[in-house]
Amino acid sequence: MSIVVTGATGHLGRHVVEQLLEKVPAEQITAVVRDEAKGAAFAARGVKLAVADYNTPETFDGLFAAGDKVLLISGNEFDKGRVQQHQVVIDAAKAAGVALLAYTSAPGSLKAALADDHRGTEKALLASGLPYALLRNGWYHENYTENLAPELEHGAVVHAAGEGRLSSASRADYAAAAVAVLTGEGHENKTYELGGDEAWSFAEYAAELSRQTGKEIVYNPVSVEALTGILTGAGLPEVFATILAGVDASIEKGELVVTSGDLSRLAGRPTTPLSEAIAAALKG
């Protein structure tokens, strides 16, 4: 039996493989990668590599074996039909008879367009009859902390979320939950609503940035349309800008507040505070 992680060299996948290496022997882990060279560091530590691509279904033929536990990390190619991409993995997992297919989804409360592909994939996974675990990941701290430069430069945090709050956590936190499900027992056919322990607003985020940098940084709330224009003006493709602005609209409605406590329970520890993620990013 292997634990198989798709998208293993992506932002979340790397954390998952790193944390799996702390729990199980390397030879029990298979990292699915598109570019073998990017997986070289894992291979050097004894992790098995499998080269496959969601857009090339035949690359998944024979990749899984009966009894495997598989983590399907959602793709990020929004323009290539993510549900169809994920269906490739589901079909291959079903053909092999895997013991569990865990999928990184989005909170059940999220109604933004971003969630549509996740709901479509959940539907396909349930229809497959495979033992599943839905890891409905909330938002990541890193979605904000990895892009601090413009906010520090302009002294402003610009979002279209009004006074809305969100329960974000670090990628390492979500990876810990996935690892708990992949290495533990009794997670078949379970749905986990995952988010940080503490919800926060963008006004609080700006205040924390100010506190840690000693600079005055204000929160400047704008309309969804204005934010879409700002993002496209900064070079983001319109499709992606519209998705991000739509997420802000959902944040204003409270759709990214997660109160289940599932994430800290699965991780076995409190989730990483936003202040810590900001401090790490400022050091980085």
pLDDT band at 180 (very low <50, low <70, confident <90, very high): very high
- Quote the mean pLDDT of the chain: 96
Order of strands across the sheet that contains 69-72 = 48-51, 29-33, 3-5, 69-72, 100-105, 132-137, 190-194
Q: Is the pLDDT of residue 78 over 70?
A: no
What pLDDT, on the 0 to 100 scale, is given for residue 147?
87
Cα–Cα dist 173/19, whole Å: 10
Say whether pLDDT at 224 is over 70: yes
Cβ distance 69 to 99 under 8 Å?
Answer: yes
CB burial string 26-61: b at 16+ within 10 A, e below: bebbbbbbbeeeebeebeeeebbbbebbbeebebbe
The average pLDDT across 74-84 equals 81
Sequential DSSP letters for 104-165: EE--TT--STHHHHHHHHHHHHHHHT--EEEEEE--BTHHHHTT-HHHHHHTEEEES-TT-E
Q: Once rounded to an integer, what is the mean pLDDT over residues 259-263?
A: 98
Predicted confidence band at 232 (pLDDT cuts at 50, 70, 90)? Answer: very high
Does residue 79 carry a pLDDT above 80? no
For 64-92, what is the mean pLDDT? 91
Question: Closest Cα to residue 73, out of 5, 119, 9?
Answer: 5
Question: Which H or E element spans position 198?
Answer: none
pLDDT band at residue 284 under the 50/70/90 scheme: confident
Percent of the chain with pLDDT strictly greater than 90: 94
User: Mean pLDDT throughout 215-226?
Assistant: 97
CB within 8 Å of 36: residues ≥ 6 apart: 49, 51
Question: Is the predicted pLDDT of residue 77 greater than 80, yes or no?
Answer: no
3-14 pLDDT, tens digit each: 999 999 999 999
**What integer is the mean pLDDT of 153-160?**
96
**pLDDT on residue 76:** 78
- Dist. CA 88–CA 70, nearest whole Å: 13
pLDDT per residue as tens digits for the range 92-148: 999 999 999 999 999 999 999 889 999 999 999 999 999 999 999 999 999 999 989
Structure tokens at 207: 């205040």
The mean pLDDT of 184-201, rounded to a whole number, is 98
The pLDDT score that the predictor gives to residue 88 is 96
Q: What is the pLDDT of residue 75?
A: 86
* Residue type at 32 in one-letter notation: V
| Residue 1, pLDDT score | 80
Say if residues 141 and 277 touch (Cβ distance below 8 Å): yes
